Amino acid sequence: MIRFTNVCMMFHGRPVLKDFTMEVPSGHTVVILGGSGGGKTTVLRLILGLLRPDSGSIRVDGREIVGLPERNMVAIRAHMAMVFQGSALFDSLTVRENVGYRLYEEQSLPDDAIERKIVESLCFVGLEDTLEKMPAELSGGMRKRVAIARALACSPEVILYDEPTAGLDPINTHLINELICRLQKEECLTQVVVTHDLDTAYRVADRLIMIHRGEKLFDGTLDMLKTADDPRIRTFLRPHEILATPGCFPDKDGGIRVVAPTMDEETPA
Ligand SMILES: Nc1ncnc2c1ncn2[C@@H]1O[C@H](COP(=O)(O)OP(=O)(O)OP(=O)(O)O)[C@@H](O)[C@H]1O
Ligand SMILES: [Mg+2]
């Protein structure tokens, strides 16, 4: 279980997360949705203990991580893996070396066990035939799947995904979504998926949280999200429908501004 309670985070005096509270129960997949700059990646970096909040509490499996010395954080981080925005594979290493990188660094398993883990993880994502390839030889979708294999190789309990389907075509998006669903169902992993891709959000989420400019706008199920009244949520989910309405424009807060037609304007049929 990951629990944020009243977390506030500032960058250069500017609030980026405001009184943010959330729970990610063990074995569940929680999606964090929101527009650019809303604070989604910041939440993932706080879970990993890479950032410290200005105030509030962050608990991982009941243990407070705010203020925890780095040497103790390392042990907590060992149960987590992150799939970075853009995959973040090492260009000069083969797929085998990328997937096994953390295990070779940690040296907690013998080499043959590491090799088995690498192959198992690549089999899970359907890329066992790419072991000796370089990242540059792979498509964007394949690189994302290698990044998931790399996360899996460390046998994590928690996987954090930052925009796992950004820039992918519908088929690759579908493949990644299915992998995320299988990891929950078959491996009972706890997952936090940051995305602004609604197909991914709708497919993988047990629960969804929407952040807007550092504030939590929504926390609930998909059905609740789809029927939410907040204009900022409606605009995010259905921009074409809302903004195509005559007289509706996006406002600076991510909501909608309704402008009454003037006498000179044609009245829509
Ligand atoms: N290290 C940093 N130093 C200063 N400002 C930062 C830092 N990291 C993030 N920010 C700012 O905090 C805000 C939230 O950033 P964050 O990366 O969490 O947003 P995001 O929701 O992940 O956006 P995107 O969808 O574009 O990835 C942004 O305004 C960003 O400029
Ligand atoms: Mg981000």
Is residue 9 included in any domain, yes or no? Answer: yes
Is residue 128 included in any domain, yes or no? Answer: yes
Pairing of strands 248-250, 256-258: antiparallel
Is residue 140 included in any domain, yes or no? Answer: yes
Is residue 221 included in any domain, yes or no? Answer: yes
C-alpha of residue 161 to centroid of ligand 2, in Å: 10
Residue nearest to atom 13 of ligand 1 (CA): 37
Residues 53, 9, single domain; the answer is: yes
Tell the burial category of 231 from Cβ atoms under 10 Å away from its Cβ (0-12, 13-18, 19+).
middle
Is residue 199 included in any domain, yes or no? Answer: yes
Residues 4, 112, single domain; the answer is: no
C-alpha of residue 99 to centroid of ligand 2, in Å: 23
- The CA-atom distances, in angstroms, between 34 and each of 23, 123, 136 are 17, 33, 31
* 269: pLDDT strictly greater than 50: no
Residues 123, 219, single domain; the answer is: no
Residue nearest to atom 1 of ligand 1 (CA): 11
Residues 152, 162, single domain; the answer is: no
- The number of domains in the chain is 3
* 204: pLDDT strictly greater than 80: yes
pLDDT for 252: 67
pLDDT for 8: 97
CA–CA distance, 135 with 208 (Å, rounded to integer) = 32
Measured from the Cα of 43, ligand 1's closest atom is 18
Least confident range from 97-101, 133-137, 169-173, 215-219: namely 169-173
Residues 218, 208, single domain; the answer is: yes
Is residue 180 included in any domain, yes or no? Answer: no
Residues 256, 129, single domain; the answer is: no
Residue nearest to atom 29 of ligand 1 (CA): 37
pLDDT for 256: 62
pLDDT for 102: 92
C-alpha of residue 193 to centroid of ligand 2, in Å: 11
Is residue 210 included in any domain, yes or no? Answer: yes
Mean pLDDT of 131-156: 94
pLDDT for 267: 46
**Which phi and psi angles does 123 have, rounded to 5°?**
-60, -40
Domain that holds residue 33: 1-79+158-171+188-228
